[in-house]
Amino acid sequence: MAGGKGDKPANANKSNAAANPSKGRKKETGLGLTNTKDGNFGEWYSEVVTNGEMIEYYNISGCYILRPWAMSIWEIMQVNIHAEIKKMKIKTCYFPLFVSNNVLQKEKDHIQGFAPEVAWVTRSGDSELEIPIAIRPTSETVMYPYFSKWIRGHRDLPLKLNQWCNVVRWEFSNPTPFIRSREFLWQEGHTAFATKEEADTEVVEILELYRRLYEEYLAVPVVKGKKSEMEKFAGGLYTTSVEAFIPHSGRGVQGATSHCLGQNFAKMFEIKFEDEKGEKAMVWQNSWAYSTRTIGVMVMVHGDDKGLVLPPKVAGVQVIVIHLPYSDADVDALVNASLETVKALCDVGIRAEADLRENYKPGWKYAHWEMKGVPLRIEIGPRDIAKNQVCVARRDNGKKIDIPMDDLVDKVKGLLDDVQQNMFEVAKQKRDACVQVIKTWDEFIVALAQKKLILAPWCDEEEVEKDVKTKTKGETGAAKTLCSPFEQPELPKGTLCFASGKPAKKWTYWGRSY
């Protein structure tokens, strides 16, 4: 398992620095990671999310406490998504957490296969409920009876709703903070249209929004594409996704999905409308979701052996100011300079804070804020005050520069943009270096063993995908299709499927995945 030992970090090292602040650097801080990203990726991930104060492990398997440091990232993503979907005229709603068995079972095909993951409430106090109540694993069956009620004529369309909520899926395979947890947070969009064309258009608009969130905010490169028949949401018509890749574990990860449900649910739930000609017609539906999994992907891609590395656009604190009170320094002057610096930055909308705590040494603070991944650290010592400057250190590449106080705001803005850009470019280079184009089965097996993100010509047949899964089953999980990228490289005539030898229909990404 490459994702991080689910429930208890093998090394649940608490920061005991406060109790014991005066030993050598790693020991002194109590903050150092004991695992490296290259050495033991899974353990490293557990340590990073806990020591970085995003996650606290909880005494129910697969459930995690999202601490303020994680929630500040989620809140920033929420604000952005909210603003973008508002522009698309999508309305906010909230449906109940609980689902009756009747309603949940209504769409049998959709539930089949998922049933073991549904969590139930069977008791209140000491008395058994007459009818158990399920906790939503997703909200199709919760919402669509009301779509049926609310949609009468073509004037009621499109109906475009979104809700922010938690969902519960009682999974049994290796839980990993953010990536696979039994309860998680997401937005789920559910829309209904009069025509397939409108639905198709929205599917790609939402997917593009998700791509931008990954690439422009989380600085994580993704591929937009279509899922295979086997990997699509079985209840829908087709599924699109943004797929990320984690070079250190050699696994793909579905970043977010945008489904066209076609008319399957409309038929099940009788979501009909009267069109302009007065004829009854079925609606066309989509559903799409973006979850807290995205935070885990971001941590896995950018984190390093010093801890989290946060892209400026989603960092709750973008700049941390640390003063250096050397023994004979004028501490008041340092504190004032720090506060002035913070104010100047906050005044222009930069999220800056000063760490003025007197019971921690600067070295401890450096390690602490590095662990938390703050993009820029400003150091202010007596010499800086004398020269009317500050020293800025970048978290992404460790480089330090002095900047005159007179240029503070412009220079810091520029640096934050640079860090954001650089993080994306570095991540993209690393991702691209993992891509392996293959043509034959033998090449496929070699590339898989090398943890590559494999791009292969494929016949697009379900039987063949099943066969590949079976043949690659092992301790680390089987290989499967991730997506067929919208941007297809040229497929020369006569190219054969790497697995079946039949004529290839398309290029498809393959790999192990989360």
Q: What are the residues binding ligand 86X (CB under 6 A)?
A: 110-111, 114, 117-118, 137-138, 140, 169, 188, 233, 257, 259, 287-289
**Helix pair angle (408-434, 331-347), 10° resolution:** 70
* Closer by beta carbon to ligand 86X, 131 or else 386: 131
Shortest CB 430 distance to ligand 86X, Å: 28
- Smallest gap from Cβ 392 to ligand 86X, in A, equals 42
CA distance linking residue 287 with residue 95, whole number of Å? 15
Residues 6+ apart with CB under 8 A from 495: 439, 457, 503, 504
Contacts for 85 with CB less than 8 Å, ≥ 6 apart: 162, 189, 209
Q: How far is CA 439 from the centre of its chain?
A: 31
Q: Specify the 3-state DSSP secondary structure of 244.
A: strand
Q: Which residues contact 429 (CB under 8 A, 6 or more apart)?
A: none
Quote the least distance from Cβ 233 to ligand 86X, whole Å: 5
Residue number, 167 or 427, with CB nearest to ligand 86X: 167
Q: Which residue lies nearer to ligand 86X by CB, 163 or 422?
A: 163
Min separation Cβ 161 and ligand 86X, Å: 11
State which residue, 28 or 117, has the beta carbon closest to ligand 86X. 117
Residue 377: which H helix or E strand, with range? strand 376-380
Minimum distance between the CB of residue 139 and ligand 86X, rounded to whole angstroms? 7
CB of 255 to ligand 86X, least distance (A): 12
Nearest-approach distance from CB 270 to ligand 86X, in angstroms: 19
476 touches 514 (CB < 8 A): no
Q: Identify which of residues 165 and 491 has a Cβ nearer to ligand 86X in the complex.
A: 165
For residues 117 and 274, which CB has a smaller minimum distance to ligand 86X in the complex? Answer: 117
Cis peptide before 362 (omega within 30 of 0): no
- Residue 390: left (phi > 0), alpha (psi -120 to 50), or beta? beta
Rg, C-alpha atoms of the chain: 26
3-class state of residue 3 by DSSP: coil
Question: Minimum distance from CB of 66 to ligand 86X (Å)?
Answer: 20
Burial of 130 (0-12, 13-18, 19+ CB in 10 A): exposed
State in angstroms the smallest separation of the CB of 448 from ligand 86X: 26
The residue among 209 and 289 lying less far from ligand 86X, judged by its C-beta, is 289
Q: Which amino acid is at 403?
A: I
Nearer to ligand 86X, 51 or 294 (CB): 294
Burial of 281 by CB count in 10 Å (0-12 exposed, 13-18 middle, 19+ buried)? Answer: middle
Encoded tokens for 248: 């250190």
Cβ distance to ligand 86X smaller for residue 52 or 235? 235
Task: Give dist(CA 51, CA 376) in Å, integer.
Answer: 19
> Least CB distance from residue 227 to ligand 86X, whole Å?
11
Cα angle at 122 between 116 and 126, to 5 degrees?
150
Contacts made by residues 99-104, CB under 8 angstroms, sequence distance 24+: 99/133, 99/134, 99/135, 99/136, 99/141, 99/142, 100/131, 100/133, 100/134, 101/131, 101/132, 101/133, 101/134, 103/141, 103/142, 103/145, 104/134, 104/141
Q: How near is the Cβ of 214 to ligand 86X at its closest, in Å?
A: 16
Rounded Cα distance between 178 and 44, Å, is 15
Indicate the residue among 245 and 288 with the shorter CB distance to ligand 86X.
Answer: 288
| Least distance from ligand 86X to the Cβ atom of residue 353, Å | 36
| Residue nearer to ligand 86X on the CB measure, 138 or 318 | 138
CA 45/CA 14 separation, integer angstroms: 15
- Which residue lies nearer to ligand 86X by CB, 93 or 435? 93
- DSSP letters, 145-161, are HHHHHH--BGGG--EEE
